[in-house]
């Protein structure tokens, strides 16, 4: 079980968009170049963010994407779900119904006990992701990344904005 690589791409792109000069857009081409990933395929991930209402887009030269909300209002979970979907990672196929001892008409009052445990773990995962925003990430990145690289990247992006 692996998350799609588009999740990683979307998170990195969102981090860049969070650092954009106010009101400016950045095109898929620049984001693809910056991260060294195929432009056409990255585009699908960005379209996912757009459909989820996390980013706004505009056409034409100087077009591209920008965040639709303040970085503090966008969580990792928002981005992960925009790309991966909101479905649970554990699918219960109700194999308990295949029990040959089971009477024909029996209706279950609750979801399968095993599924409940798996879903609770899923919830813990989502809660953890919901607890970190792009604003939080920006703080960490600023601490992690060498000042010189941080500055140069900001300039590189600003030139293409």
Residues that bind DNA in the complex, under the rule CB under 7 A: 1-2, 4-6, 27-29, 38, 40-41, 43-44, 46-47, 50-51, 57-65
Q: Give which of a second copy, DNA, none residue 104 binds (C-beta under 5 to 8 Å, depending on kind).
A: none
Specify the DSSP element, H or E, that contains 65. Answer: strand 64-67
Instruction: Give the shortest CB-47-to-DNA separation in angstroms.
Output: 4
3-state secondary structure 79-137: HHHHHHCCCCCCCCCCHHHHCCCCCCCCCCCCCCHHHHHHHHHHHHHHHHHHCCEHHHH
Residue 41 in contact with a second copy, rule: CB under 8 A: no
24 sits in the region (left: phi over 0; alpha: psi -120 to 50; else beta) called beta
Burial class (CB in 10 A: 0-12, 13-18, 19+), 82: buried
Q: Which is nearer to a second copy, 33 or 58 (CB)?
A: 33
d(CA 126, CA 143): 25
Asked if 73 is part of the footprint of a second copy (rule: CB under 8 A), the reply reads: no
Pick from DNA, a second copy, none: which does 52 bind, CB < 5 to 8 A by kind?
Answer: none
Give least dist CB 70 to a second copy, A.
18
Contact footprint for a second copy (CB under 8 A) = 1-5, 7-9, 11-12, 15, 33-37, 76, 84, 87, 89-93, 95-103, 106, 109-110, 113-114, 116-118, 120-129, 132, 137, 140-141, 144, 146, 148-149, 152-153, 155-156
């Amino acid at each position: 079980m692996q998350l799609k690589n588009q999740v990683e791409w979307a998170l990195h792109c969102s981090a860049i968009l969070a650092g954009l000069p106010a009101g400016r857009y950045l095109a898929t081409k620049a984001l693809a170049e910056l991260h060294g990933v195929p432009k056409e395929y990255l585009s699908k991930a960005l379209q996912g963010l757009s459909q989820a209402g996390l980013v706004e887009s505009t056409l034409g030269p100087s077009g591209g994407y920008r965040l639709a909300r303040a970085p503090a209002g966008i969580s990792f979970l928002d981005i992960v779900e925009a790309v991966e979907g909101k479905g649970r990672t554990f699918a219960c196929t109700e194999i308990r119904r295949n029990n040959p001892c089971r009477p024909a008409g029996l209706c279950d009052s609750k979801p399968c006990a095993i599924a409940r445990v798996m879903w609770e773990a899923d919830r813990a995962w989502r809660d953890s992701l919901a607890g970190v925003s792009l604003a939080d990430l920006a703080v960490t990145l600023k601490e992690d990344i060498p000042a010189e690289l941080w500055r140069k990247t900001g300039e590189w992006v600003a030139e293409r904005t």
